[in-house]
Chains A and B, each alone.
Chain A
Amino acid sequence: MRRKIIDKLYDGIIALFLSIVGIIMIVPLLSVLATSLSKSIAVEAGKVFLLPVDITLASWRYILLRADLWRSFGVTFLATVIGTTLALIITAFLAYPLSKKYFALAKILGVFVIITMIFKAPIIPYFLTIKNLGLFDNFFVLVLPHTVTAYNLVIMRSFFSQLPADLEESAKIDGAGYFKIFWRILLPMSKPVMATLGLFYSVMIWNQFLHPILFIQSQALFPLQLRLRQYITAGEDLVNSSITELLDYNDVTLKSATIIFAVVPILMVYPYIQKYFVKGAMLGSVKG
């Protein structure tokens, strides 16, 4: 009996603690959401915590009518779609032969890839290389450098090497070549790993900041994160402060709306892929 009470108490304390941590993790988002939906006067008076005060969509209307934000959204969206597709194909093309023992280069190429995990070129030589490749201020600089990461390759290789070889063998006897086996048999069996790495690659490309700030100069090619920086932290005023007194939005509420705007796509994809990515992350870290 006493043991039971102690156990209950123990469970309760842990649940309480974890809930508090969870709330701390989510509060910033809620507070920013509330700010984006509140009237600027209420925000300035410091009345807004987690719930909007004097609810208004004014900030959202303003943000959603900004053509430059949508343009950047488009650039990032395109880069993410093209980049993720390309990355998955090229990573899989490299990982598949590497998972075969009878492929003579499997070991050497494995080392070739792993070395890049340990030694990374400093930023300046990297910058000069990309420039020499003609990728400066070029849309493809948002895509091509993310084609393979060693970490993702290792995850995919170990996934492929676990798959049963029988199906492949029988296809081979039926006269199918490796490309056919790859598209028809291997890929359909690889949904979990494709979903995981698809998420990893797309989040990486969606959130990328270093490549854009190093290599993108024309406003027309600004991806979302650079635009967000312009809006959120670069200290640029979005609206003329002398007129904000008359409006329901101000810099703070607009920044908040922008933050939520940028987070929504990730939050929309997240629940669908969660079941896969935990496995993927584990596989990568245990074997990598």
Chain B
Amino acid sequence: MGLKENIKKYWELYLMVIPGIIFFILFKYVPMLGITIAFKDYGIFTGIKDSPWVGLKHFKAFFEYPDFWRVFNNTMIIGFLKIVLSFPVPIVLSLLLNEVRNLKFKKTVQTVFYIPHFFSWVIIAGLTFDLLSANGVVNSLLGMLGYEPILFMQRTEYFRLIVVLTGIWRDAGWGTIVILAAISGINPSVYEAAKIDGAGRFKQMLNITLPLLVPTLLVLLLLQIGRFLDIGFEHVYNLLTPMTQSVGDTIDTYVYRVGILQGQFSATTAIGVFQSVVGLTLVLAFNKLSKKFSEGGII
């Protein structure tokens, strides 16, 4: 059946997809074409089409920019800390949740674990400022132990850790959903066999559940690595204070400040393009590596 007949027969279906297609073109594809301004000298009045091409000028410029390297380093460090510190948390939580046999307790705990995922970053930043303020809970506890209050949110040495920890607080529980689903997909007969061999529950978790999860975990890790430089504008922006700018300014907050507020459209688009390319390269490289790794694992 040709396309013409298909349209004739199912014209209603074709009508249905139109609003969705228009949405994707306007809000996703047109902005993608706008990437060209990274290779142009974009002026507000000339528009994208009529701005002159300048090749890689903006890319070369930001590589020579000390500001860029500071921001790039911050992004790398936070991204790295995020993967190292937050990736294992939902795994551990899932393995433990899976061991709980009291269903009522399990459900209650899970309900509590999922809640923070639904809070906005403004709220989470608000909670964080509140808890870590001079007379907030943390400092009150420190005070009881005889320590002077610490102004955590204004000290550069704590900022990156606070970003990572708030991220864990918000999403670790949510992350257990996928992993628990993968665990429930494991064939129960494997456990039966292990039980007959005399493996206790802890040994089963370590020697069956965890290894069988590896493929799922690799996919999850791959997805995280793809978002390596994508720390999340709202997350960092709401936690930043003028005092923590030097260690907390990431590519996203920098692009917002310099690109949008100061109108340096072309230069910051180049940075955005660079960010996407790095992300994609990391995913492809890691994908290759993980394939090699799992093949090697068989032998």
Q: Which A residues form the contact surface with B (CB < 8 A)?
A: 3, 6-7, 10-11, 14-15, 17-19, 21-22, 24-29, 31-32, 35, 43-49, 90-91, 93-94, 96-98, 100, 102-105, 109, 112-113, 116, 118-130, 133, 144-145, 147-148, 153, 177-179, 182, 203, 206-207, 209-210, 213-214, 225, 228-229, 232-233, 252, 255-256, 258-259, 262-263, 266-267, 270-271, 274, 278, 281-282, 285-286
Contacts and interface: CB of A to CB of B under 8 A. Distances in A.
Interface residues on B, range: 35 or more
Interface stretch (B75-83, B156-164, B266-274): B266-274
Contacts of A126: 31, 34
Contacts of A28: 127-128, 130-131, 169
A214 B261 CA distance: 9
7 contacts: A11-B102, A18-B97, A28-B130, A93-B20, A97-B10, A128-B31, A144-B23
B181 to A, nearest CB: 4
Given A93-B17, A103-B13, A6 B268 contact: no
Contacts of A97: 10, 13-14, 16-17
Given A124-B268, A124-B272, A263-B119, A148 B112 contact: no
B121 A129 contact: no
Interface in B121-160: 121-123, 125-131, 133, 135-137, 139-140, 143
Interface string B259-289: 1100001001101110110001000000000
Contact of B178 (A98, A182, A270, A281): A281
Contact of B27 (A47, A48, A129, A271): A129
Nearest to A180: B12
A105 B38 CA distance: 33
Contacts of A258: 126
A96 B238 contact: no
A262 to B, nearest CB: 6
B13 A178 contact: yes
Given A263-B119, A270-B115, A282-B181, A232 B129 contact: yes
Given A31-B131, A116-B24, A121 B31 contact: yes
A29 B99 contact: no
B174 A125 contact: no
B114 interface: yes
Nearest to A103: B13
Q: Is the interface of B mostly helix, strand, loop or mixed?
A: helix
A271 B114 CA distance: 11
Nearest to B30: A129
B218 interface: no
A178 to B, nearest CB: 4
B180 to A, nearest CB: 8
A207 B234 CA distance: 10
List of 9 A-B pairs having minimum Cβ-Cβ separation, nearest first: A122-B272, A125-B34, A94-B20, A121-B31, A207-B120, A178-B12, A232-B126, A97-B13, A104-B6
Interface in B80-114: 93, 96-97, 99-102, 105, 108-109, 111-114
A38 to B, nearest CB: 11
